[in-house]
């Protein structure tokens, strides 16, 4: 008989997580990495910085769970109490570690800031705990063995948590692998959730080793597949790949990535491989398109820049959009979108240019040009293509959908067989 | 002696909430409405559809909490077990209610769908529970009194939950209003969490009616204050305002908002009131600064646009940065930042211009110009100011910190008494 898998609990600590404004997101990351080892989470608890409530949660977790991950409450402030309260629950001392204080002091020196007295608190650790180094902040993590239970204290800031998890927690939990788990994500744009569902409704897996989850974001649908095997990664992989193949047969026109890449990364990869350059001209998105493109490391290899043509004056003077065009068709029109794209393309001598102009709202809509009306244009060697859409949602969502549409247009062009072909020239 | 406020716990039930893909959001809504009555949540628990784990959570909640809201697990399927498991935990029977079955049948008839046999399960209620009608679905909610505890079972789909909460829960909890609750948020930039903490360490409230929580984001620190009063909203307000005043005395140079506004909103409000315009020139941020500025509805009133000067060619040709300057000092230099700012200011004839140039990484750093080195410049009627910073963090964080710094520079200028003054002219 194989042993039961461990009961795992994640405790997110912070009074702000009990307000209507904040959600614990760290636990999603921890869950993902545990799932990678075939381990599942049984309980998540969210508790404030109150000593009494924290105590209550630690006692409960110590009774019902074998592995306890705590997140947060390791900072230097008065209301960071995870260490103290857990030490009391375990009836252990807090021990001062001068080497940790030295590390913290060095970190502050590197940043050119003087350490505040409050940080000294972070050099106290729970007796007999192993210290998990923090490469991105002052709070060290702790790994505690209590009987046959493991208690792992992690810092709340995601950057600190992730780096610590990868470098110090992951190597220690490898040996607890109970399943082989393989994931695949299909990312799609250009259609909606119910349409995708109608195309694949008969493909939902009956096999309990397979899971299919569909998620919907503005301008993007994702299908997450997981396959589990007790015997081998190969088997888990084979399960997932068979399902993926069936899905791809139905969904090919909408899929832009099967490896987890964002749309801007896929576009960037194609531009790099084709040695082409890109410029943008953004009105209602104000810079979001360029921001997304430049989120990809190495984007300076293909992205030359662009113009945030928010006012009409900038459209005219920096992009060379004809004043007569704005007057006759309005700034939100296919004509102006096209002129913006060809304007920035010629000014920057880039191979491709994307332009966006629209009504992001909440104000500024009219019966003819309602909130959500957006024109996106692609200019390339062979001409200009333009699309008109009316996007649902609020200002932020409309901005996101607009950039998604613009990137999709470029991707479609880059993926088509005649991409880059001069009109009249054979591909 | 006044009674202690009730301990409130929300239990979200559903195995999907223990995956990396889903978060419980229903609890945010319940929290908000409870807060409106001065009631706060002490614990949130997330648990799957496993009988044993559910049992464990109900037992724990019945021990530590006075009010228990459960969300989800009331559906017709095999893995909807909230009713059954809670009935067992309370040692009560499940009672068949023909009137509920009739309601469900009627609902199906209305939708023109035939009821599945599984739905019959939803007509069983926990003995002595009050039924909360569901106007948007089949699952009725339940309100149970157990000793002096209240247990409220609500359906998971947000539309069903909200409607049931408003029509059946809200009227019943009105009389429990035990506190008046007032919130205030101080938002700060330009310094770090530990430094803020050191300035206010003696101001952490001892009064249990007050709560102070500090949160840290890239380039931004927030202090969230809540004040509670048993007698009046006025008293809660007075408590919070007194603490806020003390905090402001220490923190004035760093505070940019006491009303929850984002930095870009505060800057926008000041530009609007002073009737000034703004342009941007962005290198390493690629458009994020303009994106943030245009997230504010009405920003077209003061934001004219800008140039995403990612390549050197665009810096030279669209902004007029002297080639000699780039050659001598490099694109990441105070000289180029200044020229970018004055360049876009004169091209757009705007009152203010912000420019950013830096090394966002992960590649491209050198010993003299490491990853994180960022120059931000503000050009205005009276000249140019420039700041040099080395920001910690990854590419995304460095981009955020850079825009935060640029906006802070403008805010500082707009807030200073001589703002907008012509050199040589008396303010």
Residue-by-residue DSSP string for A285-337: TTTHHHHHHTTSTTGGGTEEEEEE--SHHHHHHHH---HHHHHHH-SSSHHHH
C-beta neighbour count of A13 within 10 angstroms: 28
Give the integer Cα–Cα distance in Å for A292 and B291: 10
> Radius of gyration (Cα) for chain B, nearest Å?
29
> Residue A347: its chain B contacts at CB < 8 A?
317-318
Return the percentage of chain A with pLDDT > 70, whole number: 97
DSSP secondary-structure letter at A419? T
Interface mutation target, options A286, A297, A313, A371, chain B, most CBs of B under 10 Å: A286
CATH of residue B158? 3.40.980.10
Nearest-neighbour CA in chain B from A167: distance (Å) = 17
Looking at the partner chain, which of A29, A49, A306 has a beta carbon nearest the beta carbon of B308?
A306
Nearest-neighbour CA in chain B from A417: distance (Å) = 29
Question: Residues, chain B, total?
Answer: 427
Is A220 an interface residue toward B (CB < 8 Å)? no
Do B64 and B148 fall within a single domain? Answer: yes
Do B18 and B88 fall within a single domain? Answer: yes
Is A343 an interface residue toward B (CB < 8 Å)? no
- pLDDT at A3 (0 to 100): 61
- pLDDT at A425 (0 to 100): 34
C-beta neighbour count of A396 within 10 angstroms: 13
> Residue A278: its chain B contacts at CB < 8 A?
none
Give the integer Cα–Cα distance in Å for A155 and A162: 9
Give the integer Cα–Cα distance in Å for B313 and B319: 9
User: Final residue of a domain: which of A140, A161, A176?
Assistant: A176
Do A44 and A172 fall within a single domain? Answer: yes
pLDDT digits over A331-387, tens only? 999 999 999 999 999 999 999 999 999 999 999 899 999 999 999 999 999 999 999
Average pLDDT of the residues in A158-174: 94
Closest alpha carbon within chain A to B310: A305
Do B334 and B207 fall within a single domain? Answer: no
- From chain B residues 173-212, the ones with a CB under 8 A of any chain A CB are 192-195, 197-198, 201, 204, 211-212
Looking at the partner chain, which of A35, A75, A294 has a beta carbon nearest the beta carbon of B20?
A35
In a domain, B423, yes or no: no
CA-based nearest residue to A77, from B401, B188, B216 = B216
Do B115 and B240 fall within a single domain? Answer: no
In a domain, B421, yes or no: no
In a domain, B422, yes or no: no
Looking at the partner chain, which of A47, A159, A305 has a beta carbon nearest the beta carbon of B393?
A159
In a domain, B350, yes or no: yes
Interface mutation target, options B32, B278, B294, chain A, most CBs of A under 10 Å: B294
Contact call for B305 and A300, based on CB within 8 A: no
In a domain, A226, yes or no: yes
Element (H, E) at B319: helix B312-319
Interface mutation target, options A310, A347, A361, A407, chain B, most CBs of B under 10 Å: A310
- pLDDT at B302 (0 to 100): 98
- pLDDT at B3 (0 to 100): 61
In a domain, A70, yes or no: yes
Give the integer Cα–Cα distance in Å for A407 and A225: 25
CATH of residue A321? 3.90.950.20
In a domain, A3, yes or no: no
Do B141 and B251 fall within a single domain? Answer: no
Closest alpha carbon within chain B to A396: B295
Looking at the partner chain, which of A29, A213, A395 has a beta carbon nearest the beta carbon of B295?
A395
Looking at the partner chain, which of B18, B392, B396 has a beta carbon nearest the beta carbon of A111?
B392
- pLDDT at B422 (0 to 100): 38
- From chain A residues 105-144, the ones with a CB under 8 A of any chain B CB are 111-113, 115-119, 136, 138
CA-based nearest residue to A284, from B297, B144, B194 = B297
Do B120 and B22 fall within a single domain? Answer: yes
pLDDT digits over B339-390, tens only? 999 999 999 999 999 999 999 999 989 999 999 999 999 999 999 999 999 9
Structural domain range at position B164: 8-176
Q: Are B375 and B285 in contact (CB under 8 A)?
A: no
Do A184 and A158 fall within a single domain? Answer: no
Nearest-neighbour CA in chain B from A285: distance (Å) = 6
Give the integer Cα–Cα distance in Å for A261 and A249: 20
**At residue A423, does pLDDT exceed 90?**
no
Contact call for B287 and A291, based on CB within 8 A: yes
> Radius of gyration (Cα) for chain A, nearest Å?
27
CA-based nearest residue to A191, from A213, A212, A217, A211 = A217
Nearest-neighbour CA in chain B from A427: distance (Å) = 30
> Residue B52: its chain A contacts at CB < 8 A?
none
Q: Count CA within 13 A, CB hemisphere, residue A420.
A: 15
In a domain, B425, yes or no: no
State how far the alpha carbon of B267 is from the alpha carbons of B210, B276, B302, B399, in Å: 30, 11, 10, 19
Contact call for A305 and B303, based on CB within 8 A: no
Q: Which residues contact A171 (CB under 8 A, 6 or more apart)?
A: none
- pLDDT at A418 (0 to 100): 62
Do A270 and A253 fall within a single domain? Answer: no
- pLDDT at B318 (0 to 100): 97
> Residue B214: its chain A contacts at CB < 8 A?
77, 79
Q: Answer with the residue of higher pLDDT: B129 or A179.
A: B129
Give the integer Cα–Cα distance in Å for B36 and A281: 45
**What string of pLDDT tens digits covers the 427 residues of chain B?**
456 778 999 999 998 899 888 899 999 999 989 988 888 899 999 999 899 999 999 999 999 999 999 999 998 877 889 999 999 999 999 999 999 999 999 888 887 777 878 888 899 999 999 999 998 888 899 999 999 999 999 999 888 999 999 999 999 998 887 788 888 999 999 888 889 999 999 999 999 899 898 888 899 999 989 898 988 989 999 999 999 999 999 999 899 999 889 999 999 999 999 999 999 999 999 999 999 999 999 999 999 999 999 999 999 999 999 999 999 999 999 999 999 999 999 999 999 999 999 999 999 899 999 999 999 999 999 999 999 999 988 999 999 999 999 999 999 999 987 654 333 333 3
Interface mutation target, options B291, B309, B312, B399, chain A, most CBs of A under 10 Å: B291
Contact call for A44 and B45, based on CB within 8 A: yes
Is A60 an interface residue toward B (CB < 8 Å)? yes
CA-based nearest residue to B274, from B418, B426, B409, B423 = B418
> Residue A45: its chain B contacts at CB < 8 A?
43-46
pLDDT digits over A16-60, tens only? 899 887 899 999 999 999 988 888 999 999 999 999 999 999 999
**At residue A421, does pLDDT exceed 80?**
no
> Residue A363: its chain B contacts at CB < 8 A?
297-298
Q: Which residues contact A344 (CB under 8 A, 6 or more apart)?
A: A279, A280, A281, A306, A307, A319, A350, A353, A355, A379
Looking at the partner chain, which of A17, A45, A157 has a beta carbon nearest the beta carbon of B216?
A157
Give the integer Cα–Cα distance in Å for A153 and A39: 18
- pLDDT at B77 (0 to 100): 79
State how far the alpha carbon of B123 is from the alpha carbons of A144, A279, B96, B373, in Å: 48, 61, 6, 65
Interface mutation target, options A135, A305, A320, A407, chain B, most CBs of B under 10 Å: A305
Contact call for A42 and B361, based on CB within 8 A: no
CATH of residue A186? 3.30.70.2860
Do A319 and A192 fall within a single domain? Answer: no
> Residue A28: its chain B contacts at CB < 8 A?
20-21, 23
User: Final residue of a domain: which of A176, A198, A213?
Assistant: A176
Contact call for A118 and B194, based on CB within 8 A: yes
Tell me the H-state helices in B24-134: 26-36, 51-64, 82-89, 98-111
- From chain B residues 15-34, the ones with a CB under 8 A of any chain A CB are 16-21, 23, 25, 28-29, 31-32
Contact call for A16 and B215, based on CB within 8 A: yes
Contact call for B197 and A60, based on CB within 8 A: no
Nearest-neighbour CA in chain B from A338: distance (Å) = 18
Q: Are A75 and A85 in contact (CB under 8 A)?
A: no
> Residue B185: its chain A contacts at CB < 8 A?
none
Q: What is the pTM of this model?
A: 0.81
> Residue A59: its chain B contacts at CB < 8 A?
none
Contacts A–B by Cβ distance under 8 A: 260
Looking at the partner chain, which of A32, A49, A298 has a beta carbon nearest the beta carbon of B20?
A32
C-beta neighbour count of B105 within 10 angstroms: 16
Give the integer Cα–Cα distance in Å for A129 and A87: 10
Q: Are B199 and B212 in contact (CB under 8 A)?
A: no
Per-position b or e across B161-188, b if 16+ CB within 10 A of its CB: bbbbbeebbeeebeeeebbbbbbbbbbb
> Residue A22: its chain B contacts at CB < 8 A?
215
- pLDDT at B420 (0 to 100): 46
- pLDDT at A422 (0 to 100): 39
Do B50 and B65 fall within a single domain? Answer: yes
- pLDDT at B21 (0 to 100): 83
- pLDDT at B89 (0 to 100): 95
Contact call for B280 and A41, based on CB within 8 A: no
The sign one gets for the Cα dihedral A187, A189, A194, A197 is negative
Do B18 and B155 fall within a single domain? Answer: yes
Q: Edge to edge, what strands does the sheet with B141-146 contain?
A: A130-132, A141-146, A149-154, A67-71, A8-13, A43-47, B43-47, B8-13, B67-71, B149-154, B141-146, B130-132
User: Final residue of a domain: which of B237, B257, B277?
Assistant: B257
Complete DSSP assignment for A27-82: HHHHHHHHHHTT----EEEEE-S-HHHHHHHHHHHHHH-SEEEEES--SSSTT--H
Domain count, chain A: 3
């Amino acid at each position: 008989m194989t042993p039961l898998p461990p009961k795992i609990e994640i405790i997110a600590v912070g009074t702000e997580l009990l307000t209507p404004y904040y959600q614990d997101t760290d636990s999603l990351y921890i869950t993902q990495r545990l799932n990678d080892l075939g381990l599942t989470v049984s309980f998540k608890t969210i508790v404030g910085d109150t000593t009494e409530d924290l105590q209550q949660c630690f006692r409960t977790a110590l009774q019902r769970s074998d592995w306890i991950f705590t997140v947060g409450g390791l900072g230097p402030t008065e209301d960071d109490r995870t260490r103290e309260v857990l030490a009391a629950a375990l009836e252990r001392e807090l021990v001062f570690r001068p080497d940790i204080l030295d590390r913290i002091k060095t970190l502050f020196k590197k940043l050119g800031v003087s350490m505040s007295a409050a940080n000294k608190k972070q050099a106290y650790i729970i007796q007999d705990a192993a210290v998990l180094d923090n490469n991105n902040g002052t709070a060290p993590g702790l790994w505690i063995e209590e009987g046959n239970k493991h208690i792992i204290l992690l810092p709340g800031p995601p950057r600190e948590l992730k780096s610590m998890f990868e470098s110090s927690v992951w190597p220690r939990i490898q040996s607890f692998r109970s399943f082989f788990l393989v994931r695949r994500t299909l990312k799609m744009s250009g259609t909606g959730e119910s349409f995708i569902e109608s195309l694949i409704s008969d493909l939902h897996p009956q096999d309990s080793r397979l899971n299919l989850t569909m998620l919907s974001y503005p301008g993007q649908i994702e299908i997450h597949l997981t396959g589990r095997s007790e015997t081998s990664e190969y088997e888990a992989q084979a399960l997932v790949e068979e399902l993926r193949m069936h899905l791809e047969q139905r969904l090919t026109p909408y899929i832009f990535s099967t490896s987890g890449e964002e749309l801007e990364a896929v576009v960037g990869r194609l531009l790099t491989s084709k040695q082409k350059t890109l410029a943008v001209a953004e009105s209602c998105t104000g810079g979001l398109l360029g921001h997304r493109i430049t989120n990809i490391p190495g984007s300076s290899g293909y992205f030359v820049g662009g113009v945030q043509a928010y006012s009409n004056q900038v459209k005219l003077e920096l992009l060379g959009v004809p004043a007569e065009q704005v007057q006759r068709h309005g700034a939100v029109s296919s004509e102006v979108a096209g002129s913006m794209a060809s304007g920035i393309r010629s000014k920057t001598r880039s191979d491709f240019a994307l332009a966006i102009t629209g009504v992001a709202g909440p104000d500024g809509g009219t019966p003819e040009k309602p909130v959500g009306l957006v024109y996106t244009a692609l200019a390339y060697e062979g001409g200009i293509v333009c699309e008109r859409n009316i996007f649902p949602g609020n200002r932020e969502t409309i901005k996101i959908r607009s950039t998604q549409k613009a990137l999709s247009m470029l991707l479609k062009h880059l993926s088509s067989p005649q991409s880059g072909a001069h009109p009249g020239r054979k591909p």
